[in-house]
Structure 1
Amino acid sequence: MAHGTANSPQVLRRMNSGAVVRFALRVAEFTAAEVMAETSLTRATVLGVCDDLVEAGWLVELEDSRAAGLTSKGRPARRYRLRDEAGVVAGIDAGEHRFTAIVADLRGKALGEVGADAPAVDRRPGSAAERSRAEAADERRALAVRLLDEALAAAGARRDDLLVGVPAPVDADGRSPAGDRDYWKTMNPGFADALPGPSVVVENDANLAAVAEQSHDGQAHTANVATLLSGERLGAGVIVDGRLLRGARGGAGEMRFLDIVEGAGSPDGVGALARMWAQDALAHGERSALAELPVDEITARDVFRAAADGDALAAGILDRLGDRIARVALVLASLLDIERVVIAGAIAEAVEPVLARARTVLAEEFYPPVPELVASTLGRDIVVRGAVESARVRIREEPLAFEPRR
């Protein structure tokens, strides 16, 4: 009992310090009075904690309010802000086709960003393809380490916390199940062990996209939302009652069930289907402005552009995509009672015609409630932005677990 009592002042001091650091992470600069209002701590406690945090390297003390010209009467207020050099976080989007790494300060401002194409992955059966996947896994590990080093060098920093986003379910230990022909293990080839540093977290890419959406100032928040990455394959980051769903192996947002859903048929994404459906139609001799392009080079962007120019084939493909997205969204809403489905990723900037069709299908073919459909405004970097934000969340939740840089 005496041991617990002896330690209680230190424990209380640590709790108070954590509360002040969390406040400092949210605001540009602050006074002791503002911390008192936020935390209910006394003035003496706040000033003592701030002095300790300045000494530790978390905070820097600014000119007092009178010297800064903010007040002229009464006792000048002492002012502080988070020290810019206190630490950095890093995020990697280790996608199937491309890697992006960002190093940011503790407020989320990007300090260094690099990217590179990912090694190709052979998904065919057979021993030769298995060897190819093993080589791709090695190359993905090496690429992640290289890009992290390059981003840190560009930022002139060392890493304090790292989040890696992968297109695979991820369990609590940062590992992925095998998946079809070891696809998931190839996408996440042991990043948790391969990347250097004391704090490496691997997370599903759609989950990180959901985190980015929820933290984005321009997005109206909801406690029940699915963020659907929709490029090559569909994957959802699902938030229900304000909490991100993961499941036993991190696969809560995987869309494999679409293989057996009538009107959906597969977890292929909007980008992949737009390309494949156009190529198939042209191979069967259908007329379209897209026929002027080499068939094997047609992209989803080409299909969307042709539809905007009035091409009937391309417009029909977008309608088919809208029919499919409507059914996918309704399945998610029916299972999880979500209010909104956000279409995210690089395709989001062009996807509005597809969503317009999907909204019509939901309104005319299904009874309410049906989910709201919106396009993300965060672009192709949504996963890596979510990785950076998730790293910042970890620091906000337990700031004193991290040592500030001096």
Structure 2
Amino acid sequence: MDGTTASSTQLLRQINSGALLRFALQEQVFTAGEAMGATGLTRATVLGVCDGLVDAGWLEEVTDGGESGPALKGRPARRYQLREAAGVVVGLDAGEGHLTTIVADLRGRGLAKRRQSIDSHALGRAGRVAGAQELIRQALADAGCDAGDVLLTVVGVPAPVDADGRSPGAGEFWQLMNSGFDQHLEGAVTIENDANLAAIAEHAQEPSANVATLLSGERFGAGLIVDGRLLRGRRGGAGEMRFLDILSDSKLEPEEGTSDGFGALARKWARTLVRSYGGDTSLRRIPEGDISAEDVFQAAREGDPLALDIIARLGARLARIAVVLSSLLDIERVVIAGGISRAIEPVLERARTLLPENSGLPLPDLVASTFGAEAVVHGAIESALTRFRREPMAFLPRAIRP
């Protein structure tokens, strides 16, 4: 056999192995016959590839009683399943004020989750990385795993990220957030913008060809899926919403244009207005410097007039953003994600009433994410699983690692 023929045979076997492993990820226990129907491979090829995947540590043969499919006459069908110990994936939301991690198996089932608050500016880049390493170590221990089990880690950071996982050199904050995790975490490591990961999580839960996921809390960013594809831009800046900073310089939109998130604006506006507000407001019972976004939303639920005014301003802001996104990208749905999403419905209600009815095009639905503060980390897990399903043979299962 010459080198070309050997290489071709090896490539074909790798392709067949990848197809069969992707099938195994979707099934619990399967027979060769079932794999034949799903992959189009011959029985001899399926059995040979399964034996190879068992030897490699990806699959295990099931030998207990019962049959999951029809057997050949006079001979029990061989049955296989994904080897649970082959490896895990890790998702990490490396926010400015928190770290959240999830460990999941290769089918996407969560095995462990950890979260902790941090002060990124006090920790610096090295401290953020060290904190992430320790939190992931704890979550792996909770799941009964260790670092050697990790096949992929996907990290979401509040900064633009290009296709190589780098953030633009300008901007000290971006460099702090994108702290060099890819050099220090386990497995194959991917760095991604946090709003993009939130968009991936939302798209996996409710597929839509044209949707904007607005990740809003302290800061404001958008993950944009247009014609079914995530928009990134040349340097990862798509969805950074910097046009809002430009609007803040306009006398036509005082205090309405900055790219602060809804949570930050609710807090800032309340602290600015509470002293000068002419009516009664329960927010005065809270020390001015301690008023939080949660206080504002709670007061609004109780009918506080100042809080309701702030909700109305936030609603007007969201309506303008929705119209811009709809006009530029023909977005059909706008999702508000992040911790603020649990309380955002009054803002959505106000924004819906302000959307113009004569725009000529259907305007987007405005909805709240159901992931709460975990949209980014769930998107990180989904991103890791998508990469693994696309190229499973690019990874080595735990069984044959040194």
Structure 1-normalised TM-score? 0.89
Cα pair distance change 1:249/1:321, threshold 3 Å: same
Are residues 73 and 39 of structure 1, via their aligned partners in 2, closer, same or farther at CA, if it must alter by over 3 Å? closer
The answer as to whether partners of 1:345 and 1:381 remain within 8 angstroms in 2 is: yes
* Correspondence 1:160-179 to 2 at 5 A: 160-179=151-170
Deviations 1:280-320 (A, max 9, x none): 11122443111112222222122111111111111111111
CA displacement at 1:371 relative to structure 2: 1.3
* Alignment match, 1:211: 200
Identity of aligned residues (%): 56
CA distance in 2, matches of 1:281, 1:212: 36
2:384 maps to a residue whose letter is A
Deviation at 1:380, TM superposition (A): 0.7
Counterpart-to-counterpart distance in 2, 1:309 and 1:82 = 52
Equivalent in the alignment of 2:129: 141
Is the CA contact (8 Å cut-off) linking 1:227 and 1:237 kept in structure 2? yes
Moved more, 223-232 or 108-117: 108-117
Q: CA RMSD in A?
A: 2.2
The amino acid of 1:336's aligned partner reads L
Match of 2:286 among 293, 299, 306: 293
Aligned residue type for 2:258? S
In the TM superposition, what is the alpha-carbon distance from 1:394 to its structure 2 partner?
1.3
1:88 has 2:83 as partner: no
d(CA) in 2 for partners of 1:316 and 1:77? 69
- The 2-side partners of 1:327 and 1:27 are apart by 46
Q: Please, which moves more after superposition, 32-41 or 230-239?
A: 32-41
For structure 2, the residue ranges without an aligned partner over 5 or more in a row are none
Corresponding residue for residue 128 of structure 1: none
1:37 deviates by 2.2
Contact 1:348 1:375 in 2 (8 A): yes
- Residues 165, 387 of structure 1: 8 Å contact kept: yes
1:183 matched to which residue of 2?
173
After TM superposition, give the deviation of residue 328 of structure 1 in Å.
Answer: 1.0
CA deviations on 1:79-136 (whole Å, 9 max, x unpaired) are 3221111101111111011011222111122223222222243xxxxxxxxxx6xx62
Equivalent in 255, 262, 265 of residue 270 of structure 1: 262
CA distance in 2, matches of 1:73, 1:350: 58
Offset at 1:2? 4.6
Partner of 2:398: 405
Question: Within 5 Å, which residues of 2 pair with 1:219-368?
Answer: 219=206, 221-261=207-247, 264-286=256-278, 287-364=280-357, 366-368=359-361
User: SS state of the match for residue 274, structure 2?
Assistant: helix
Given that 2:30 and 2:68 are in contact with CA atoms closer than 8 Å, whether structure 1 keeps it comes out as no
Please tell me the residue identity of whatever aligns with 1:113: K
Structure 2: how far apart are the matches of 1:341 and 1:231?
16
- Looking at structure 2, the residues matched to 399 and 247 of structure 1 have their Cα atoms a distance apart, in angstroms, of 27
3-state secondary structure, aligned to 1:111 = strand
Shift of 1:238: 0.8
Asked whether the 8 Å contact 1:24–1:82 carries over to 2, the reply is yes
Partner Cα distance (1:72, 1:32) in 2: 9
Distance change (3 Å), C-alpha of 1:283 and 1:136: farther
Q: Is the 8 A contact 2:93 2:155 kept in 1?
A: yes
Q: Judge which range, 331-340 or 88-97, deviates more.
A: 331-340
What is the distance in 1 between the residues matched to 2:126 and 2:13? Answer: 46
AA paired with 2:157? Answer: V
Q: Secondary structure at the match of 1:291?
A: helix
Deviations 1:210-235 (A, max 9, x none): 1111122xx2x111111110111110
Query: Are the equivalent residues in 1 in contact too, given 2:266–2:296 (CA < 8 A)?
Result: yes
Supply the AA of the counterpart residue of 2:27: V
Distance 2:104 2:12 in 1: 31
Structure 2 match to 1:127? none
Does structure 1 residue 202 correspond to structure 2 residue 191? yes
SS in 1 for 2:126: helix
The alignment partner of 2:116 has SS state of strand
Deviations 1:331-381 (A, max 9, x none): 122222221111111111111111111111114475533111111101111
Write the distance in 2 (CA, Å) between the matches of 1:167 and 1:388: 17
Residue of structure 1 in register with 2:372 after alignment: 379
Contact kept? 1:88, 1:157, Cα under 8 Å:
no
**C-alpha contact (below 8 Å) 2:341/2:372 kept by paired residues:** yes
**Residue 104 to residue 302, structure 1, CA distance change in 2 (3 Å):** same
Q: Distance in 2 between matches of 1:354 and 1:147?
A: 34
Rounded Cα–Cα distance in structure 1 between residues aligned with 2:108 and 2:71: 35
What is the aligned residue count? Answer: 388
Residues 370 and 149 of structure 1, relative CA distance in 2, 3 Å threshold = same
Q: Structure 1: 5+ residue runs without aligned partners?
A: 122-131
In the superposition, the TM-score normalised over structure 2's length comes to 0.90
For 2:28, give the aligned amino acid: A
CA distance in structure 2 between the partners assigned to 1:13 and 1:73 by the alignment: 25
Question: For each residue in 1:25-69, what CA deviation from the matched residue of structure 2 results, as whole angstroms up to 9, or x when unmatched?
Answer: 2233333233222221112211221121122111122248x7348
Cα deviation, residue 198, structure 1? 4.8
CA shift at 1:70, angstroms? 6.7
Contact 1:119–1:139 (CA under 8 A) maintained in structure 2: no
Using a 3 Å threshold, how does the CA distance of structure 1 residues 70 and 305 change in structure 2: closer, same or farther?
same
| Local SS of the residue matching 2:168 | coil
Give 1:12-23 correspondences, 5 Å limit: 12-23=12-23
Q: What SS does the aligned partner of 1:290 have?
A: helix
